A and B are shown apart, each in its own frame.
Chain A
Amino acid sequence: MQHYNMNLTLKVWRQKNNKAKGGFETFQVKNVSSEMSFLEMFDVLNEQLVAEGKEPVAFDHDCREGICGMCSMHINGRAHGPWEQTTTCQLHMREYKDGDTIVVEPWRANSFPVIKDLVVDRTAFDRIIAAGGYVSVNTGNAQDANALPIEKQKADESFAAASCIGCGACVAACPNASAMLFVSAKVSHLALLPQGDPERKVRAVNMVQQMDTEGFGSCTNIGACEAECPKGISIENIARLNREYLGAVFSGSAQG
């Protein structure tokens, strides 16, 4: 595609801290290259703001290659912008044309409080993982990988679930601010493997309880999470989590 430059109007959410009331601030960004990533465009904006002696816009980012899940931005109503299975850092400016107005908001969910501007606190996810997203049975020394037979299809499904990067787009996109896609990915990833099997019931119950404690909404199978997930995590995982939970309820063995 032909390279081009564009001038943009940005409406960005600014909020001093968790307690302050936020609001939109409008910026003009000039000469943005169509080859830039969305975050590079924000770098240009921030350099401009620093040069003007103003406070740069705070936003999360780390790897800038679509694997860390930090770059949370709600762009013109879409988590990570309009491209399918794409994080904000992988969204490129060729999506936009000269004169466009782009509205950028933080992830909005009561369980993801704003820290500053576009940066939100996603430690609720860490606490859900801490409630059960691990294997604690003694596995002894690392053994030969082939010693534990795993069905190919299960290995693939587990791998697909494990590709969740904990970005929180599912929560951001869900009308109920539910974290079920995230939790179901974490539960599925372990439940499908022999190492995760011994603790599967307690894990499902504990992680669901922690998810509720953190104040996420309940899943009503709307599917906006799946549509926005940058890793293409399927709501088939939510079906699996529901089965895991039902299994724990009716087997009566889970302590919870």
Chain B
Amino acid sequence: MSWKNYFSTSIGKKILVGATGLFLVLFLVVHCYVNAMVFWPDAEPGKHFTEAAAFMGGNVAVRIMEIGLFLGLAVHIIQGLSLWSQNMKRRSVRYTVSAGNATSKWYSRSMGLLGTLILMFLILHLYHFWAPNRYGQAFDPAWKEEDLYHKMIAVFTPLWVVIIYVLGCVSLAWHLMHGFFSGFQTFGLATHKYKGVIRSIGVAFAIIIPLIFASMPIYLHCVGNCGH
């Protein structure tokens, strides 16, 4: 069988979703670490964060890894949603009475929906912070790294933006509540010995990382509106 055929079976597609999903999990750790610098009690507000952001923005290696990130994200979204839509067609006549939550968790059945919510948030998020800066870097000769710290404060001043960001984090939390374990199971690593610890780490990860992310817009909203 060719490589292409290996990855087009149901398990093969899952391997692609799982590999890219776990890669995105790694990305979240880095992203969260860098952004958490906004909480640093600098004398000059946001100094630590601005330096870290400038390092990430100006670094060629990071820019190259970013291409990998976007490719991975694209594969994850395309394969994930295609699996999801195919799976919806496997039972043309639905049950009149279904088991609901008696035999499985709602979020494990809603990965496509949660992923789509994350995607909608992601488009807004890239539009806010990534696109303008990177567009300038690519096309504007007079470009210099934006002052992202103050830009964030400006973006998060209206409450509705904060609410959307928090909802994005909530969707991410539920996506990971299933996705973290699921990714390891897809690679056959959730064995009798390890599945308990993988589930526990997954739950902790799914709560802690989105919580840290969600606290950023809330914090910066306060900074913007109360002036400290």
Contact = CB atoms under 8 A, between A and B. Distances in A.
A238 B190 CA distance: 9
Nearest to B13: A218
B102 interface: yes
Contact of B87 (A211, A217, A223, A254): A217
B10 to A, nearest CB: 3
B195 interface: yes
B1 A255 contact: yes
Chain A interface helix/strand/loop/mixed: mixed
A178 B109 CA distance: 13
B59 interface: no
Contact of B104 (A219, A223, A236): A223
A209 to B, nearest CB: 6
Interface in A216-256: 216-224, 227-228, 234-236, 238-246, 249, 254-256
B186 to A, nearest CB: 6
Contacts of A22: 93
B10 A211 contact: yes
Nearest to B184: A239
Nearest to B98: A77
Given A175-B104, A205-B1, A242-B187, A76 B111 contact: no
- Give the interface residue-count category, chain A: 35 or more
A236 B12 contact: no
12 contacts: A108-B93, A108-B95, A178-B10, A209-B9, A211-B10, A218-B14, A219-B11, A221-B185, A227-B104, A234-B192, A242-B185, A246-B15
Q: Which are the 10 A-B pairs with shortest beta-carbon distances? A: A243-B188, A218-B10, A256-B1, A177-B90, A77-B97, A176-B87, A242-B188, A217-B90, A227-B103, A221-B182
A165 interface: no
A164 to B, nearest CB: 18
A246 B87 contact: no
Nearest to A205: B1
Contacts of A56: none
Given A217-B87, A221-B186, 18 more contacts: A22-B93, A77-B100, A110-B92, A176-B87, A208-B11, A209-B9, A217-B10, A218-B11, A218-B83, A221-B185, A222-B105, A223-B103, A227-B103, A236-B190, A236-B195, A243-B188, A244-B188, A245-B12
Contacts of B108: 220-223
A110 B91 contact: yes
